[in-house]
Structure 1
């Protein structure tokens, strides 16, 4: 099978400071200040054309950071990401300019992706119809609810027809009818052999839609494989975590964070 995404030894590091003066000193002096936090550390996996991969993991594990790297929104600190085709991220806050109207955002996004005026004129009514946000299409995006942002973002992304679709919690807001419409559209993409990465807190949606699972556990890959093999292990971890006492949970989180934080 042809590879669509190859992620090799990817890490993403951020600097964290206890006070503003540390940040300034880190910029002007040779000695490093602050600590380095690894949102992702040594992530490696491959996706093939037609793969539908659910990215699972508890909050703070680095799922959204990974989705942004795959989509080219942010670069990795180290490692390589090879994306064979056009990737598009669908997230509640991604790619929409608050001061522009929905209609203006459609035009801007399409222009940035190389569509000409004629193509944009043809696509715009289809995008507006799918988003189904009524007169808000001509209002500034800053007035939108999270559900309306998600609708517009999803509508734009699927109609520009990317090779690789990255969906980050975009179906967690809004009504069930729209979510079902989106899943139908995603199934069309699936049938056409496109690669889809799907992030959702809904384990039911994951099991129903995804064939593979990438379990990201506090910045590293815990397991990658068939959904039927990975999800039971993830659910067992979740059940075990829920049974921990408050003190045990705090200790567990502390140990994990210490592993992700290193002195600069």
Structure 2
């Protein structure tokens, strides 16, 4: 059971529209959140973060002085602030633009307008992130599980590693693209219990790496979990055919990842 509840959250809300600010504030209050600071720009947010450390940052995509993408990059590169979960609320539908946010490692992306249940789920994901519970496995001591994380985005790797750390997984090796991941795994297949990989990467993508592991190396045993923002059903179908064990969306909520890890690691 979590020691932190939704009503305990302190939230920094960044929204340039006064009308939208009031609407989102009311939604948060309806969920039981009382400790909310509202600001209208990226600069105001940075200034606020110098004095207060919220449990969650919620931002609109387009701010008067910067985008949420630029803001999250500043935050994630600040060692003091980088641990704070970030949620985006936006009416933007462009895959290219939203993917930059997904790659940065956010807990949720909500549309405008959003449903109450989506906000509640996003707030629950935040709780999972800031008050993590170790995954309980029958066949493994979670602290001994060895994971290879493959992603060309440094921010995405950091986010994935933190989520895994929060579940009790400490032995993590990182690779910057599919080829490096394939080489690391080929150099010691018995050194890993799980691979977590992105799909779209330079040099060698996740699908090609999976095919190499399954066909060229002949390894049908190692569980491979793909974390991706890809939504093309044909491409995802090809990934399943290549031999992936499971696919999670970016951004992914820790509970979904926990359930999927339990399934792939505890499989007979």
TM range (shorter): 0.3 to 0.5
The structure with more strand, counted as a fraction of residues: 1
Structure 1 length as normaliser, TM-score?
A: 0.34
Task: Report the TM-score, using the length of structure 2 for normalisation.
Answer: 0.34
The structure with the largest alpha-carbon Rg is 1
